[in-house]
Amino acid sequence: MEHHHEHQEAKQQLILGLILNGSFTIIELVGGLLSNSLALISDAMHDFTDTIALSLSLYANKKSVQKPSKTKTFGYKRATIIAALFNAIVLIALTFFIFYKAYQKILNPEKVNGMIVFIIAVFGIIFNGIVVLRMWKTKDKDINIKSVFWHLLEDALGWFGVLVAGIVIIFTGWYIIDPIISIVIGLIVIHGAYGIIKETLDIFMLAVPEGIDIDDITKEIKKIHKVKGVHELHVWTVGSNHYALSGHILVRDMKISSTYPVLYEANKRLKEKFKIEHTTLEFECEKCKRICY
């Protein structure tokens, strides 16, 4: 039920983001055409790529709950991980493009209509800010949402920077402030995108999920009555907030039916304390001969 609730919450946020971002892209494009502003038209194209990123994430969100098959026994839970990695790479590529444009503007500052920029920036902050605030609390629960969050945060920060630049330009005519702010915002966004790429690659490398300690799991299982040891523990991420574990539990020599209470208690503790719901546990006794394959 918890995973279902988180999935629905993520879906609603992605739909909201898609509607608002798509709407603002149209507003920005019309504003750019009416004001003959190449900068606004270019940014409209940038927002259009964000709309594509949102669409991809929404599709991945839907795909991730598709039932397992004979060839994909874990289902499509990693669809959201793939979407997050793709979005983060695109985000870094777009940021470097912004760096390039900023560099050109520093060398050859362009005259900007500060008032039009100011008005469009206000709308940009409102549209992107609403979605960013909605995603703030849940971004750490779903890496797919986190990748979209950074896309939209880049836009929100970008428009805040444009707002500041617009005010400075109106009162001082100092046009170079625009590319300087863009570079600062770009550095912040790259930091966030790098974190997403690192996290997704860790998932594909079957790394232990962040916040879970193998030693803590071992100690917790060894507290269970009749358990004498734990080894061959493996913990990995199947999908966003969906963890799996496999391991061997050493018990005294007993019937298979007698191991059920131990198995029940182990799964209960793993779920309650570590949020691990998918487990494969093998029992061994001291007299058992360990077979290596």
| C-alpha torsion sign, points 56, 59, 64, 67 | negative
Return the CATH number at 174.
Answer: 1.20.1510.10
34 domain residue, yes or no: yes
Work out the burial of residue 182: count CB atoms within 10 Å of its CB; fewer than 13 is exposed, 13-18 middle, 19 or more buried.
buried
209 domain residue, yes or no: no
Tell me which amino acid residue 67 is. K
Q: 145 and 246 in one domain?
A: no
Give the separation between CA 108 and CA 117, rounded to whole angstroms.
19
* pLDDT, tens digit, 9 for 90 and up, residues 217-275: 999 999 998 899 999 999 999 987 789 999 999 998 888 888 899 999 999 999 999 99
Q: 155 and 10 in one domain?
A: yes
* pLDDT, tens digit, 9 for 90 and up, residues 95-124: 888 788 888 878 887 666 667 777 877 888
Cβ atoms of 113 and 170 within 8 Å: the answer is: no
Residue 230, token pair as written in the block = 């734990």
Distance of CA 176 to CAs 110, 138, 171, 290, Å? 8, 37, 13, 70
**pLDDT at 89 > cutoff 50:** yes
Sequence length of the chain is 293
Residue 105, token pair as written in the block = 């503007």
239 domain residue, yes or no: yes
Q: 83 and 149 in one domain?
A: yes
Per the structure, the complete domain to which residue 231 belongs is given by 214-285
Of 157, 184, 204, which closes a domain? 204
Q: 164 and 43 in one domain?
A: yes
- Confidence band for 293, pLDDT divided at 50, 70 and 90: very low
Q: 141 and 50 in one domain?
A: yes
pTM as predicted: 0.76
Return the CATH number at 273.
Answer: 3.30.70.1350
